[in-house]
Amino acid sequence: MSIDTDTLLDWYDHSARDLPWRSPDCSAWGVLVSEIMLQQTPVARVSPIWQEWMHRWPVPSALAAASQGEVLRAWGKLGYPRRALRLHEAAAAIAEQHGDVVPQDVPTLEALPGIGTYTARAVAAFAYGRRVPVVDTNVRRVVARAVHGSADAGPSASKADLADVDALLPTPDSRAARFSAALMELGALVCTARAPRCQDCPLLPDCAWQRAGRPAYDGPAKPVQRFAGTDRQVRGLLLDVLRDTDEPVPKTRLDTVWPQDGQRDRCLDSLLADGLVEQVEDGRFALPGEQ
């Protein structure tokens, strides 16, 4: 069982969202920034922040010249703020080691902080048209259903997924990148995790999952991540205070965000260790690089 490339690409041409980072005018830097921001974060929340960043920091060297605090503030509440710090580091590396040009090949991209298996291939394909498999959670789900007849892919990605999609990539090279984008878009709009809209799916006639009678998911359970009461929530609350103030704040201010002293202090320590918070000379706390 395979996927009808023409059918999929035709659907993509008519149904794809008009996202700014898909514009032919969008730079490779713009694509890279969008991919980092989109890691575990919905399009609707990324869009306005991405626009702001492109206007403010149109090239890697521009972002590299900003302070960490400025970058974290501009990141706002996208979540996982270590991504912002790593993107800042990546921008500096691109500016200093690659002539301010985003690298094209996967190994070089993967060597940059914050860029892993998915993002490296997404940039190579979407920014440069390289013929490389781009496998995210959407693609894994679509392939699991349409090709393998399963309700969903397993909890974690594997090299087998990459090989899987590599075998599906069409020729010529110019169509491969659009094919990957189309697979992702189908997973985002139609072949969704919760309530797939199979009646609207262009792949319905050949879908292996459909033909198998849409069996339920029988793979290993996916780990459930709590949020309420975790260190992630407390770290978020602490960082929120610092984003919203111009001046360093005393620890007594940070102490108001969470009642449990031990957890609160541990989180503050971890933020300091991560370089997301800095302690200034008089003992107060601030975003890094702002004094």
Q: Could you list the active site residues? A: 35
By rule CB under 7 A, what string of x and - marks binding of each residue 206-235 to DNA? Answer: ----------------xxxx-x--xxxx-x
Q: Which of 26, 102, 120, 125 binds DNA (CB under 7 A)?
A: 120
- For the segment 86-105, give every residue that binds DNA (CB under 7 A): 86
Shortest distance in whole angstroms from residue 35 CB to DNA:
5
CB atoms within 10 A of CB 167: 10
Question: Does residue 184 belong to the site contacting DNA (CB under 7 A)?
Answer: yes
- Binds DNA (CB under 7 A): choice among 15, 70, 74, 79: 79
Q: In which element (H, E) is residue 278 found?
A: strand 278-279
List of residues 6+ apart from 216 with CB closer than 8 A: 151
- In sequence order, the 6+-apart residues with CB closer than 8 A to the CB of 131 are 125, 169, 173, 176, 177
Decide: 79 and 38 in contact? Cβ < 8 Å: no
Asked if 197 is part of the footprint of DNA (rule: CB under 7 A), the reply reads no
**Site residues (CB under 7 A) for DNA, limited to 47-76:** none
Query: Which of the residues 149 through 178 are near DNA (CB under 7 A)?
Result: 156
Beta carbon of residue 173, minimum distance to DNA (angstroms, whole number): 20
* DSSP letters for 215-277: PPP-SPPPPP---TTSHHHHHHHHHHHHHT-SS-B-HHHHTTS-S-HHHHHHHHHHHHHHTS-
Q: 110 CB contacts (<8 Å, ≥6 apart)?
A: 116, 117, 120
Q: What's the closest the beta carbon of residue 133 comes to DNA, in angstroms?
A: 13
Question: How is residue 37 written in tokens?
Answer: 């921001």
The minimum distance between CB 286 and DNA, in angstroms, equals 16
Q: Which residues bind to DNA, rule: CB under 7 A?
A: 19, 21-22, 34-35, 38-45, 77-82, 86, 113-120, 122, 136-138, 141, 156, 184-185, 187-188, 192-195, 222-225, 227, 230-233, 235-237, 239-240, 270, 276
